[in-house]
Amino acid sequence: MDNVFIDSVDTYICDLPVKRPHQLAMTTITTQAIVITIIKDKSGRTGVSEVATIGGASYGDSTVEAIKANVDKYIVPHLIDQSPIHFNRIMTTVSKYVRGNYFAKAAIETALIDLAAKQREIPAYELFGGKIHDSLPLAWTLASGDTTKDIEEAQEMLHTKRHNIFKLKIGHGDPTANVNHVGEIIKAVGDQSRITVDINQAWDEYTASKQIRALEEMGVSMIEQPPPTWNYEGMKRLTEKFDVSILADESTTSLHDTYRIIKERAGDAVALKPAKHGGILETRKIAGIAEAAGFGIYGGTMIESTVGNAIAASVYSTIPEFKFGTEIFGPLLYQDKLTLEDIKVENFEIQIPDDIGFGSTLDYDKLNHYQR
């Protein structure tokens, strides 16, 4: 049994190019930075994970450089000679000695789970509750910044039955012009699709109050994180004022953040993201308290490549209901991938992998090509 114990942990920073610029409120993505973690046991089996960040430090305080440094120095010493099947115990120990660092913890926990599942030759979701869904609705973000291009892109997605839920990133630039942009897209494809918008914390409460009224009248179904993360009171007032759903994303990082959002009704829906929560175990806790409170749940993304996307798909497959679907489209935005597998989308839904572990086979040639 000694061969099941952890022998080594390696982390790699990679920069992957995307197919088109992806515009958010705080940055425009042309290359996405990710961290790949590989945990190897003494028999040579490997567990692989990925966490992605957006725009360096402009989106949040977890940069790829910090994730790698903190994994290597502060987390790895708690892993060597441990059995990965005890991932819950290991992560409890890690949390006692390492505060915050949710992305770093997610990178380690998911690699542990992948390795534990491979040691038992089972899909990873069997280790945290079992699969409910074989597929999930998949949204696509229209974020080129050009109305005509976005409409053409949406029409192509509808024609190929890839997506019929569209999110528009409208936090960058003039709010009124951006709302008009949404209106044009709804006129073009709104009768065939559901439209949501993401502000990425870019509006103050006055701007949000003015613009949400117009968005609600247009028929937008959900508005994501209008004010900054700290403005719980503003989120609460907006939720009370409008019928359209107000989704908390950046303000629901930890279990405790989410509890506060729910207790104060500072929103009526939450976005899940395994990386921002610190891994799968915490993600499932957050989904549980959101479900108990009657909050809508959305399967979010940090725009991971195929490795991280398979992890998100696996955990989301075990959660009963996603009121707003999921947006784990990341690999479809990349020019290349680090795995032999790709994601499968059929009839507007992403198919959940059933292979051993998280269903990803790392392409080491690609890893070597894209790593820093």
- Residue 336 placed within a domain: yes
- Residue 232 placed within a domain: yes
CB distance 319 to 297 below 8 Å: yes
Residues 112 and 136 in one domain: no
Mean pLDDT of the chain: 95
Given a cut of 90, is residue 274 above it in pLDDT? yes
Residues 122 and 134 in one domain: no
Query: Mind giving me the DSSP string for 343-367?
Result: --EETTEEEPP-SSBTS--B-HHHH
What's the confidence (pLDDT) of residue 1?
Answer: 63
Q: Spell out the SS3 assignment of 150-188.
A: HHHHHHHHHHCCCCCEEEEECCCCCHHHHHHHHHHHHHH
CATH number at residue 46: 3.30.390.10
Residues 158 and 88 in one domain: no
Amino acid at 79: L
Given a cut of 70, is residue 149 above it in pLDDT? yes
CATH number at residue 324: 3.20.20.120
Given a cut of 80, is residue 27 above it in pLDDT? no
Residues known to be catalytic: 169, 327
**Furthest C-alpha separation in the chain:** 63
Amino acid at 333: L
Residues 298 and 186 in one domain: yes
Q: What is the pLDDT of residues 31-53, one digit of tens each?
A: 899 999 999 999 999 999 999 99
Residues 183 and 86 in one domain: no
Residues 156 and 72 in one domain: no
What's the confidence (pLDDT) of residue 310?
Answer: 97
Domain extent, residue 170, equals: 130-351
Q: What is the pLDDT of residues 74-100, one digit of tens each?
A: 999 999 999 999 999 999 999 999 999
- Residue 142 placed within a domain: yes
Q: pLDDT band at residue 25, thresholds of 50, 70 and 90?
A: low
Comparing 55-69, 123-137, 162-176, 358-372, the range with the smallest average pLDDT is 55-69
Residues 255 and 148 in one domain: yes
Pairwise CA distance, residues 48 & 362, whole Å = 8
- Residue 357 placed within a domain: no
- Residue 356 placed within a domain: no
- Residue 358 placed within a domain: no
Q: What is the pLDDT of residues 191-207, one digit of tens each?
A: 999 999 999 999 999 99
pTM of structure: 0.94
